[in-house]
A and B are shown apart, each in its own frame.
With several copies, the nearest count.
Chain A
Amino acid sequence: MNSVNWNGIVESLLFAAGDEGLSLKQISAVLEIGEIEAKDKMNEIIQMYNSDPNRGLQVLEIGGTYQLATKKEFAIYLKRLVESPSSTSLSQAALETLAVIAYKQPITRIEIEEIRGVKTERPLQTLTAKALIKEVGRAEGNGRAYLYGTTKEFLDAFGLKDLAELPKLPEQSEDDEFAQNEADLFFDTLKQV
């Protein structure tokens, strides 16, 4: 071997880092290459893992860090061997609250409650304790209520690279279109009169 064995090095680094993951900064520091080059390398490596069916592992990119994880298709085998704590399973109330925060952050409790139509203290406590949300600041104006936002742990728990990867909200435009048609229909009816 006369060249640097990037794949081997990165695999050993990722393995050691476990679910703490490695940032691009750490990778480029250890490999002594620039971050852009490191990023290219990581993309190559991600590709390599994904395209090789002999590999049971994949590289996840989550909230700015890379981490190794088993491929989904092997979950059936792992389930025979490993206890699943199902620890992240959230109540409906918590999931709804989390959805509102994820899409509308930063947002105050009152604003969340307006959208949900119910008190939301308990779900906020649960989500905070599960480190899925945190206080990210204070709202202007009277009360200076806490503003909530999602955490890196949130991205990890839902397997997201970043917030931009959140599924698109059920589009309002469709509803609007629908409403528009209705309105058109209404107008048409009137014209006929």
Chain B
Amino acid sequence: MQHYNVKIDAFEGPLDLLLHLINRLEIDIYDIPVAEITEQYLIFIHTMKELELDIASEYLVMAATLLAIKSKMLLPKHEEDEFDEDLDVEMEEDPRDELVERLIEYRKYKEAAEELKELEQERSLMYTKPPSDLAGIAKDATPEKANLDVSLYDMLGALQKLMRRKKLQKPLSTKVARQEIPIERRITEILTVLKSFRGRKNFNDLFTIHNREHVVVTFLAVLELIKRKEIQVTQENNFADLFVESTEAS
């Protein structure tokens, strides 16, 4: 039995998960093999349970629905004994119908969401500017305290426009100046510090510069040094400070 390495939060709900299974198993959505899909669906849910992930109740409701459909499908079909005048009726009574309808309806909007995403991306290629401040032009058009015909939505809308607007980068050179600190260099620096210190140094003291990049690089350098067994890290007890020393010095 195949295992799924897919996270449940990769899905937008049970319908999305079902569509995924249908695609994956290359099933005809109008003729879903309920037994098979139910089994796959349940495997998925069980895996989630084993991983002790929270499963939204909707997923469980869908599991029950699938089982109900499956059992209905197993009931003997009397219609087959009858004449073909009942064929239409028989088509409508397929226990899968409602689910199929929901899946198709949902799929429609899932696809529409994709199109919206593309539109949004396209829109983001077009830059706009804020309204100019015309304070100098209109002299004494002092607005009085009139009744305001604005809502919170208007304000939020204006704020969104502001957030969407792109901001000019300060001097172009700041971007260039922010080059990465090579880990090798930081490793050498840390070793030099530890060796000259001749003893244990508080781990926190290694972080001399408080910007994110420096902290990250320092941390990576420490990990690398531990791996190379060039330094040793000790801790007295839980939650106590960490101490670092050069293995060479000790």
Contacts and interface: CB of A to CB of B under 8 A. Distances in A.
> Does more than half of chain B's interface fall in helix, strand or loop, or is it mixed?
helix
Interface in B67-93: 84, 87, 91
A175 B150 CA distance: 31
A163 interface: no
B109 interface: yes
Contacts, number: 296
Interface string A100-122: 10110000000000011111111
A82 B167 contact: yes
B58 A117 contact: yes
A93 B119 contact: no
A159 interface: yes
Interface string B125-151: 111111111110110011111111111
A98 B113 contact: yes
B216 to A, nearest CB: 16
B185 interface: no
B106 A79 contact: no
Given A78-B137, A117-B58, A129-B156, A99 B109 contact: yes
A187 B169 CA distance: 15
B154 A16 contact: no
A178 B29 CA distance: 11
Interface stretch (A2-10, A40-48, A62-70): A62-70
Interface string A161-176: 0000001011010010
A84 B126 CA distance: 11
Contact of A115 (B106, B160, B171): B106
B: contact size bracket: 35 or more
A87 interface: yes
A81 B154 CA distance: 21
A160 interface: yes
Interface string A130-155: 11101000000000000000011100
A36 interface: no
B163 interface: yes
A118 B141 contact: no
B225 to A, nearest CB: 31
B168 A82 contact: yes
A76 to B, nearest CB: 9
Contacts of B3: none
Contacts of B170: 192
A96 B122 CA distance: 18
A95 interface: yes
A115 B119 contact: no
B145 A117 contact: no
Identify the interface centre among A26, A85, A192: most chain B CB within 10 Å of its CB.
A85
Given A25-B172, A29-B172, A82-B134, 4 more contacts: A70-B132, A99-B162, A102-B112, A118-B15
Interface of B: 12-16, 30-31, 56, 58, 62, 84, 87, 91, 102, 104-113, 115-117, 119-120, 122-135, 137-138, 141-172
19 contacts: A16-B132, A18-B128, A72-B125, A75-B125, A82-B168, A85-B167, A89-B149, A93-B131, A99-B113, A99-B155, A116-B12, A117-B13, A118-B13, A118-B133, A121-B135, A125-B135, A132-B148, A172-B108, A182-B163
Interface of A: 12, 15-20, 25-26, 29-30, 58, 60, 67-72, 75, 78-93, 95-96, 98-100, 102-103, 115-123, 125-126, 128-132, 134, 151-153, 156-160, 167, 169-170, 172, 175, 178-179, 182-183, 186-187, 189-190, 192
